[in-house]
Chain A
Amino acid sequence: MTPHSSYTPEFLRFVAAGSLRYARCSACGRVLSFAQRLCSQHPRAALEWLPASGKARLHSFAVYRIAYGAALTPPYAVAVVELEEGPRLTSALTDPDSLRPRVGSALTACFEPSGRLVFSAVSDAAMLNPPTHSD
């Protein structure tokens, strides 16, 4: 059992394939946060990686105004998004207006050409009534 060392690589393999997934306990179905490596109720049960809907809400954001000696050029926003399934994830926002986001706003997951997972704004209506095949 390699509960810690295999977790992030597994998540990243899905992301590299353009799929945002989250882990669930195969014994009880409980969804885990991205910080957990096992279900504390069923520590020996396998994790299942399920595709997320991609729907999310903006939990919080911060706008970097100074460079920290790194690759990103300020200003840029860092977001914490809450997936519809419950877990929260650090990410970025795609919108031109991404430096003035609104906490609680509806988002959807997408992938940049580089493969980086980001989130873009959608209307609240799209969150409540997802498009169906009859549309």
Chain B
Amino acid sequence: MTARQPFSAMVGLGFSEFSRGDIGTPRDLAIDAVVSAVEDCGLGLADLDGLLICRSPSAPSSELPLRLRLDLGLGDLSLLGDLQLEGASVVGAIQQASLYLHHGLARTVACVFSDVPLRPGRASGAASYNRVMQLSGLDDWEVQYGLFGAAGPYALAAQRYLDRFGLQRSALGGYAVASRRWASLNPRAMLREPLDLEGYMHARSIVDPFCMLDCAYPVNGAIAVILTTVARAPDLPKPPVYVHAFAQGHAGRGNFRGNEPEIEAGGALAAAALWRMAGVGPSDVQSAQIYDAFSYVGLQALEDYGLCPRGQAPDFVHDGQTSPGGQLPVNTGGGHLSGFYLQGMTPVSEAVIQARGEGGARQVPRNELILVTGSGGRLDYHAALLVSPRATL
């Protein structure tokens, strides 16, 4: 391990209300989250000199404009942006903020994500996420085949994986069950009633091999994180959560014979860079907070990061290794499936809570090296962090 200084520290965390109903616009909720995060770290809005805004790729930028800085009455800023890396946006924003802080280009930066996918007139999550994803790369080609939403493209990836390793749909179920175990310990989680594999197998099919319990649970809400310099962090009231390493990985392998973009994705590239930067390896990771909008994405990430061997994530999870009491607690707030789907802020916020030791009934026993991932497109875009409550690893 290295004695190098961390890049930055996450010192404030703020949540809006979460709801499946109408609680305001994305802009309303973003304001609420930033104010809460600033209060959490004992600072004022006047202390912010950076603001990075993240939104769902399916939401227009006009819903969360750069004018959010004026809404908040912020003063002169040295960093501002609307960072769009699809599901990897939030982790990407924390990386950008960390670089600015590390190089003395900013002192205190807010990163905020806000989304209102559930609105009157939209009957379901499917209705909120019915974009047609371009898998083959031909403009609008997929429309005629009905490849709507994100579940279909990810189901194609999951099916490829299941086939390669000779597995059935039930292999995905253990992941949903483990997520629910954690969610039952998280007061903020949306789905907390007990779930077993039998319950999973009886859930409504969405896009085979996925049933509804393989898919993220959408909510309306916003979360903000405040980052500051490593020098300043210890003076603030909450325990700092240090950012020790970060990396991105966007696999260039095309949809072409010989490539398996469904199974080996950008996470593996980011992983190699992360371990190099921090001087650690997969066996040093004590907990992982993974972007898992679908069960398969979580399983796939465990393998891309070498946290278990390729093809073995379903068994690893089914055996309880990632569950409460397991050797590698994963998505300890319930993740996207049972916790709440606020894209990259779901894993980031849980990492902050765990690193601070504020996890209550779900607090992990070992929190000194936490992996955080963000993932977007159909496994196309990937960003990750290593964080710790310790200033040196």
Seen from chain A, the residues whose Cβ lies within 8 Å of a Cβ on chain B are 7-8, 11-12, 31, 33-36, 59-66, 68-72, 76, 78-80, 82, 86-92, 103-104, 116
1/0 contact string of B129-167 vs chain A (CB within 8 Å) = 010001111111110111111001101110110010000
Select one of B138, B145, B206 contacting A34, CB under 8 A. B138
Residues of A contacting B149 with CB < 8 Å?
A: 68
- Provide the residues of chain A in CB contact with B256, threshold 8 Å: 31, 33, 86-88
- Residue from the list A59, A65, A68, A92 in contact with B205, Cβ < 8 A: A65
B254 close to A (CB within 8 Å): yes
- Would you call the interface of chain A mostly helix, strand, loop, or mixed? mixed
Known contacts A72-B146, A78-B152; A62 and B138 CB within 8 A of each other = no
B71 an interface residue at 8 Å Cβ cutoff?
no
Q: Do B136 and A90 have beta carbons less than 8 Å apart?
A: yes
> Are A80 and B146 interface neighbours, CB within 8 A?
no
Q: In the complex where A33-B255, A34-B255, A36-B254 touch, is A64 in contact with B152 (Cβ < 8 A)? A: yes
Contact B159 A62 (CB under 8 A): yes
A102 to B210, CA, bound (A): 17
Find the A residue at minimum CB distance from B134: A35
Separation of A34 and B144 alpha carbons in the complex (Å): 17
Provide the residues of chain B in CB contact with A87, threshold 8 Å: 255-257
Q: What is B's interface to A at a CB cutoff of 8 Å? A: 126-127, 130, 134-142, 144-149, 152-153, 155-157, 159-160, 163, 204-209, 254-258, 262
The 4 closest A-B pairs by CB, nearest first: A35-B137, A68-B148, A33-B254, A62-B155
Q: Smallest distance from the beta carbon of B207 to chain A beta carbons, Å?
A: 5
| Highest count of chain B CB atoms <10 Å: which of A12, A35, A36, A68 | A68
Nearest residue in A to B161 (C-beta to C-beta)? A60
Q: A8-B139, A89-B136, A92-B145 are in contact. Are A80 and B130 (CB under 8 A)?
A: no
A-B contact pairs, 27 of them (CB 8 A): A8-B138, A8-B140, A11-B138, A33-B254, A33-B255, A34-B137, A34-B255, A35-B255, A36-B254, A60-B163, A62-B153, A62-B156, A62-B207, A64-B148, A64-B207, A66-B206, A68-B127, A69-B130, A70-B148, A76-B146, A78-B142, A79-B145, A80-B136, A80-B255, A82-B257, A90-B145, A92-B145
| A-side contacts of B208, CB under 8 Å | 62-63, 65
Known pairs A64-B207, A66-B126; list 20 more (Cβ under 8 Å). A8-B138, A31-B256, A60-B163, A63-B208, A64-B148, A64-B152, A65-B206, A66-B204, A66-B206, A68-B130, A69-B126, A69-B148, A70-B130, A78-B142, A78-B152, A86-B258, A88-B136, A89-B136, A92-B145, A103-B159
For A68, what are the chain B residues with a Cβ–Cβ distance below 8 Å? 126-127, 130, 146, 148-149
Residues of A within 8 A of B207 (CB): 62-66
Of the candidates A36, A60, A69, A91, the one having the most CB atoms from chain B within 10 angstroms of its own CB is: A60
Q: Taking the nearest CB of chain A, how far is it from the CB of B145, in angstroms?
A: 5
Contacts of B140 in A (CB 8 A): 8
Residue picked from B141, B155, B256, most chain A C-beta under 10 Å: B256
User: Which of chain B's residues has its CB closest to A112's CB?
Assistant: B144
| A63-B207, A65-B206, A87-B256 known; A80+B156 contact, CB < 8 A | yes
